[in-house]
Amino acid sequence: MDEGALSETIITLATDISRIAELEDKPSIERLMISFAKSRFRTKDDFLRQAVGCLREYFLAQNAFVVITMLLGFVLNDRDWMREKTMHVLKLVFQSPEARVPLATYGAELLMPLLHLLPTPFASLALEVLNEPIVISGGPAASHVLRMSMAFGNLMNGLGDQTGEVFGPPQPSGWSIAKIEEKSACARQNALAVFETCSVEARVQSSAHFSMQFAEMESYNNDSQLSLDSFAHSIPSEEVTLGQLVGDLHSLNQ
């Protein structure tokens, strides 16, 4: 809408979302996307208010924490337009009663992404969001958060430390994962567990499947720093043990 006339790609996307909403029995989203695709909204604010209304109707009541955490994660994105538009959404979301429960439970930690914007050109917009009637009853003491937000500089990094439950230390890429080592180890174990559930009878079929997959990956990753030559060539074309597969997967940890 900032660019004026909607492109055909955006219209197609809005139409697809409306069809998904119809299948998911969410008529308000369906109508919203149809109106958007047909350029029926006179202003961006009209569209934004109705879009947030759909969030409240279908998602905030039962999944307020998930919605708010996702939006706050977008605030850490390295794309400026994503940060700006997300804060416009958050300003309206924080006005809803449903937003009070996650803030009361996790307190100041949920506000960390916004506080990290205070020493940036997005400070005024972040302050507009923080100016909403937000009651913090959990997490670090309010005075501690205020001191850190006013200090800026390196102290801002302390708002997302390794002990966080929701956000970890913000990275230049925009990711801010809490307990990253714990979650990384869990993901690795889960991936290996999938392969360990393969039955003995399926080993030959599995070897053929993985040979094909990695051969395809090699053809699409010629510019990648990681070469899969040694891994792909180490898998025999007709037979391989599950232990070999798991061992080769271990070698790709790095």
pLDDT tens digit at each of 254 positions of the chain: 888 888 999 999 999 999 999 999 999 999 999 999 999 998 999 999 999 999 999 999 889 999 999 999 899 888 899 999 999 999 999 888 888 888 777 767 788 888 888 888 898 898 888 887 666 654 454 445 555 555 444 444 445 455 567 887 777 777 778 888 888 899 999 888 888 887 555 454 544 444 444 444 455 454 444 444 554 454 444 455 666 666 666 666 55
Residues 10/14/15/16 CA torsion (nearest 10 deg): 100
Identify the DSSP state of 177: B
- C-alpha span between 93 and 251 (Å, rounded): 45
Identify the DSSP state of 164: -
**Residue 167: strand, helix, or coil:** strand
pTM above 0.85, yes or no: no
Separation in Å, CA 171 to CA 42, 183, 238, 243: 38, 16, 44, 36
- Locate tokens 């029995």: which residue? 25
